[in-house]
């Protein structure tokens, strides 16, 4: 009895399938850091209050940006947020608003009592920070992104630096030398970021955005510089494409936490070109919206909600 030879078609398909699988495996290997970072950094939807996963790229959405000193001064699970910026993006009108929330703002924090708003994250993580902002500012937050110091430096270096116009010299004799994990986190050094158009690497950009001692406006100046740095990062990342994501994911692994899933990220990338600096409204809660004071043995900022809430609701309806 003669054995029937298999027809050549299935064999060809097997070879094609083999090449397809090899190609997909190659792509998968290339994008593996993205999936790993997404798995490590994305918080489950259920753990964020009032999360709105149904928002589509055509609907306005809000993101709370949180920045922490994640050096050895603080236990990894007890970080406060040195920077809190609430962003609202309206894809239809192509308008965006950035509201810097002062870290020393003295507010009721749900389940924690009254304290500086920066401590909400320290005690209750992103969930508590979001709850504090939502309950005090009467806004809804869709997503959050938390980033550590080293993460910001690495992100900017991965971008190849950012371009900024430095409005005035930023000089500080007591700038924290806390980026080196093996150094003394209480050491400090001097910085001088010179004015004018500049191309800043990650460390210099962080100095620019973090320094607060030598400016008449203290933390408010820092808030403004942080907003300008965000705009510069956005301007630079405009030239990215999806092939840049694995390298970014590699450098950011462990330095970023977010509730933004890959779907939302893709949608954000798709609309990012529509926003330039002229359509981004920047708000800093300077006096008289806030007033310096003293509470529980520390310098704080007291909010004037009668002024703040109407201002916030203009931009965060």
Partner 1 sequence: MTRPLIGAALALAMLVFGFGVYHAAGLLKVDHSMVNRPNEITAPALPGTVYLAQRGALYRFRNGSFTQITPEGGWMQPAVSPDGRQLVAVQRKTNYSDLFVLTATGRPTSQITHNNTSALPEYNHWVFYPRFSSDGSTLFYDYDHKDGYSSYQVDLAIFATPTASWRSSVQWSIPHPYTGGDVSPAPIQGGIVFTKFWIDDQSMVHSQVWLQARPRSQGVPLTPKDVNCVQPAVSADQKSIAMICTRGQTQSTELNVASYDATTATLGIPTTLVKAELIASPAFSPDGKSIAYLAPVTPGGAFQLWTVGVSGNPAPRAFTTTLGLDSSSSPVWVAN
In the complex with partner 1, which residue's Cβ is closer, 55 or 235?
235
Question: Tokens at residue 72, please?
Answer: 């050895």
Member of 66, 79, 133, 159 binding partner 1 (CB under 8 A): 159
173: contact with partner 1 by CB under 8 A: yes
Which of these ranges, 26-34, 67-75, 110-118, 296-304, lies near partner 1 under the rule CB under 8 A?
Answer: 26-34
CA dist 21 → 10, 246, 306 (Å): 16, 20, 62
User: 40 φ, ψ to 5°?
Assistant: -80, -25
The answer to whether 293 and 109 are in contact (CB under 8 A) is no
186: contact with partner 1 by CB under 8 A: no
Question: Tokens at residue 186, please?
Answer: 């209480």
Residues 231-270 that bind partner 1 (CB under 8 A): 231-232, 235-236, 238-244, 247
Q: How far apart are the first and last CA of the chain?
A: 82
289: contact with partner 1 by CB under 8 A: no
The answer to whether 70 and 148 are in contact (CB under 8 A) is yes
215: contact with partner 1 by CB under 8 A: yes
Member of 25, 45, 270, 296 binding partner 1 (CB under 8 A): 25
95: contact with partner 1 by CB under 8 A: no
CB of 285 to partner 1, least distance (A): 11
The beta-strand segments (E) located in 102-169 are 106-109, 113-116, 143-148, 162-166
Residue 214 three-state SS: coil
Residue 69 three-state SS: coil
Which residues pair with residue 301 across a beta bridge?
105, 292
Which of these ranges, 72-80, 184-192, 292-300, 304-312, lies near partner 1 under the rule CB under 8 A?
Answer: 184-192
Binding residues vs partner 1 (CB under 8 A): 15, 18-19, 21-23, 25-27, 29-31, 157, 159-165, 167-174, 188-190, 192, 194-199, 213-217, 220-221, 228, 231-232, 235-236, 238-244, 247, 277, 284, 286
């Amino acid at each position: 009895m003669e054995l029937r030879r298999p027809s050549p078609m299935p064999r060809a398909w097997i070879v094609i399938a083999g090449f397809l699988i090899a190609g997909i495996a190659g792509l998968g290997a290339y994008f593996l850091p993205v999936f790993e970072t997404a798995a490590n950094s994305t918080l489950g939807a259920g753990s964020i209050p009032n999360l709105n996963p149904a928002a589509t790229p055509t609907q306005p959405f809000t993101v709370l940006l949180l920045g922490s000193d994640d050096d050895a001064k603080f236990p990894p699970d007890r970080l406060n947020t040195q920077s809190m910026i609430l962003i609202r993006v309206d894809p239809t009108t192509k308008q965006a608003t950035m509201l810097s929330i002062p870290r020393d703002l003295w507010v009721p924090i749900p389940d924690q009592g009254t304290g500086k708003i920066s401590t909400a994250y320290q005690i209750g993580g992103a969930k508590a920070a979001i709850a504090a902002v939502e309950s005090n500012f009467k806004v809804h937050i869709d997503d959050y992104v938390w980033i550590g110091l080293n993460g910001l430096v690495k992100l900017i270096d991965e971008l190849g630096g950012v371009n900024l116009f430095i409005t005035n010299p930023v000089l500080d004799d007591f700038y924290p030398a806390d980026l080196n994990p093996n150094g003394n986190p209480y050491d400090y050094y001097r910085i001088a970021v010179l004015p004018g158009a500049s191309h800043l690497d990650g460390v210099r950009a962080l100095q620019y955005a973090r320094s607060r001692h030598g400016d008449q406006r203290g933390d408010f100046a820092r808030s403004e510089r942080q907003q300008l740095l965000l705009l510069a990062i956005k301007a630079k990342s405009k030239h990215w494409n999806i092939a840049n994501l694995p390298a970014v994911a590699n450098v950011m692994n462990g330095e970023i936490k977010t509730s933004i899933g890959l779907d939302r990220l893709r949608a954000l990338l798709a609309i990012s070109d529509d926003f330039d600096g002229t359509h981004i409204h920047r708000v800093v809660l300077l006096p008289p919206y806030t007033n310096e004071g003293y509470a529980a043995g520390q310098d704080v900022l007291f909010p004037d909600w009668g002024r703040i809430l109407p201002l916030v609701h203009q931009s965060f309806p």
